C-alpha cells in the first residue's frame, strides 16, 4: 500500500490558526489538491479531531470507492456513523491500522492527520510520502505537525506553486541515518 | 532602508532542534545564502539569544562594512564587546531600533531573529521581505518564528531550491487586510 501523509500549514508551521479546530485558512488551491488526492486513494486515515471538524461533510459524502478510517479512543461513541467498508472507527495505534489496511488489500492511502497519527506512522516508517501545503500567513501559535521531540529526516521530492501564494512541498521520509 | 527578515526552520516550522540554541541543523546551502545576504547588507539586527549562540564567530569577524545591532535587555552586560558603528547593544524595542537605523542612513538591513524581534518588526510593518529556508527534517518541538497568536498575511515572491533538499520561500508581508 502506498501511503501519503498530507497537511496544510501556515508558513511558520502552524496546522491550525491558534486554537481553532480545522483548516479554514486553507486556500482554494490546497482544497482542490486535497480533494483530487483523496479521489485517487481507496482509503483515508484521520484522527478523531480532524473527523469531528469535518464530520457533517464526511458523513454526507461517503463513497463506496473509498474507506475512511477514523482513529479515536472511543469508537463506540460513533456507532451511529459507522458504515463497514466506508466509515470505520478504530481505537488501535495508527501503525496497526495502516498495516491492517495493507493486509485487507487497499492500494493507496492518505493520512490526513492529526499529529499523533502522523507521528506514529512516520516513526514506524509507514509513510511513503509527506505532502505539506504552505499557506502565505503567519499564525505564531497553533497545532504542530508531529507530536513531541523527534528527528525525522526527509528527502525533498518536489516543490510546486499550487496557487499564486501557496506552495506544495513533497517529501519522502529519508532512509538515511538520523544525525 | 530595505529590511529583510531571515530564518531557517525545519519543514514543520521549528527554528531550533527542540530546546537547543542555534541553527546547527542548517544546511551548507542555507549557510551560504545567509553569508551572501549579510554580505550585501550594511546592518544586521539580532536578538540576544542569537548573538550568544554565535558570539565567538561574530566578535572575531567584525567588519567595518557592516553594523551589528544586538537587542538585549541588558546592554551594559556587553560593554566589553561593544564597538560603536560595528557592534552595538540596544535595549530599545526592535521597531525603534530599525527606525533609528534608517534615520542614521543605513540602506539594507537583515533581521535574523529571534521571534520577539521578528514579531515586533512584522507588527510595525517594518519588514520588506521575509526569507524562510526550509530544511528537510521534522523536529516536532522547537522555537517558533513569531511570538504569540498573530495573523500576518504574506505574499509569495519566489520559491527556490537552495540545495538538493532545501527550499527557500521568499515572502513579502502583505498589505491586504487581515482576515
Distance between CA atoms of residues B131 and B141, nearest Å: 21
Rounded to two decimals, the pTM is 0.96
ipTM higher than 0.85?
A: yes
Check if CATH label 3.60.40.10 holds for domain A39-139: no
When CB atoms are compared, the residue of A25, A141, A150 closest to B138 is A150
Say what the pLDDT of residue A179 is. 43
What confidence tier does B50 reach under pLDDT thresholds 50, 70, 90? confident
Judged by CB atoms closer than 8 Å, whether chains meet at A138 and B161 is answered as: no
Chain B hits for A140, CB-CB cut-off 8 Å, are 119, 144-150
- pLDDT tens string B120-148: 999 999 999 999 999 999 999 999 999 99
Cβ-contact B10, B135 below 8 angstroms: yes
Q: If you measure CA to CA, which chain A residue comes closest to B24?
A: A179
What confidence tier does A176 reach under pLDDT thresholds 50, 70, 90? low
Pairing of strands A108-111, B129-135: unpaired
- pLDDT tens string A23-54: 999 999 999 999 999 999 999 999 998 899 88
B152 conformational bin, left if phi > 0, alpha if psi -120 to 50, beta if neither: beta
pLDDT at B176 over 60: no
Residue A68 C-alpha, separation from nearest chain B C-alpha, in angstroms = 25
Q: How buried is residue B135: exposed, middle or buried, by Cβ count under 10 Å (0-12/13-18/19+)?
A: buried
Residue A16 C-alpha, separation from nearest chain B C-alpha, in angstroms = 11
Beta bridge partners of B7: B132
CA distances from A116 to A21, A48, A177, B34, B142 (A): 15, 10, 23, 34, 17
Chain B hits for A148, CB-CB cut-off 8 Å, are 140-141
CA distances from B126 to A103, B34, B95, B98, B119 (A): 56, 20, 7, 8, 10
Sheet holding B43-47, edge to edge: A137-138, B152-161, B167-173, B129-135, B2-10, B108-111, B43-47, B67-71, B87-90
Buried residues in A91-128 as b, exposed as e (16+ CB within 10 A): eeebbebbeebbeeebebbbbbbbbbbbbbbbbeebbe
Say what the pLDDT of residue B175 is. 75
Domain ranges of chain A: 39-139
Judged by CB atoms closer than 8 Å, whether chains meet at B17 and A139 is answered as: no
Say what the pLDDT of residue A103 is. 98
Judged by CB atoms closer than 8 Å, whether chains meet at A14 and B11 is answered as: no
- pLDDT tens string B66-76: 999 999 999 99
**Residue appearing with cell numbers 531550491:** B161
Distance between CA atoms of residues B177 and B158, nearest Å: 21
SS3 sequence of A12-61: CCCCCCCCCCCCCCCCHHHHHHHHHHHHCCCEEEEEHHHHHHHHHHHHHC
Judged by CB atoms closer than 8 Å, whether chains meet at A140 and B153 is answered as: no
Q: Which of the residues B13, B144, B158, B175 would you substitute to probe the A interface, choosing the one with the greatest number of A C-beta atoms within 10 Å? A: B13
Amino acid at each position: 500500500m502506498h501511503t501519503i501523509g498530507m497537511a496544510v500549514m501556515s508558513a511558520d508551521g502552524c496546522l491550525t490558526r491558534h486554537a481553532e479546530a480545522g483548516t479554514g485558512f486553507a486556500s482554494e488551491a490546497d482544497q482542490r489538491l486535497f480533494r483530487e488526492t483523496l479521489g485517487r486513494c481507496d482509503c483515508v486515515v484521520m484522527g478523531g479531531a480532524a473527523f469531528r471538524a469535518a464530520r457533517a461533510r464526511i458523513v454526507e459524502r461517503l463513497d463506496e470507492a473509498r474507506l475512511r478510517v477514523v482513529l479515536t479512543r472511543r469508537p463506540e461513541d460513533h456507532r451511529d456513523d459507522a458504515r463497514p467498508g466506508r466509515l470505520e472507527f478504530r481505537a488501535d495505534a495508527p501503525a496497526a491500522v495502516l498495516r491492517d489496511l495493507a493486509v485487507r488489500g487497499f492500494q493507496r492511502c492518505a493520512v490526513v492527520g492529526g499529529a499523533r497519527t502522523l507521528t506514529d506512522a512516520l516513526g514506524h516508517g509507514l509513510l511513503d510520502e509527506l505532502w505539506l501545503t504552505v499557506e502565505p500567513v503567519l499564525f505564531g501559535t497553533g497545532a504542530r505537525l508531529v507530536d513531541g521531540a523527534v528527528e525525522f529526516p526527509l528527502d525533498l521530492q518536489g516543490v510546486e506553486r499550487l496557487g499564486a501564494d501557496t506552495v506544495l512541498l513533497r517529501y519522502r521520509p529519508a532512509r538515511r541515518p538520523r544525525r
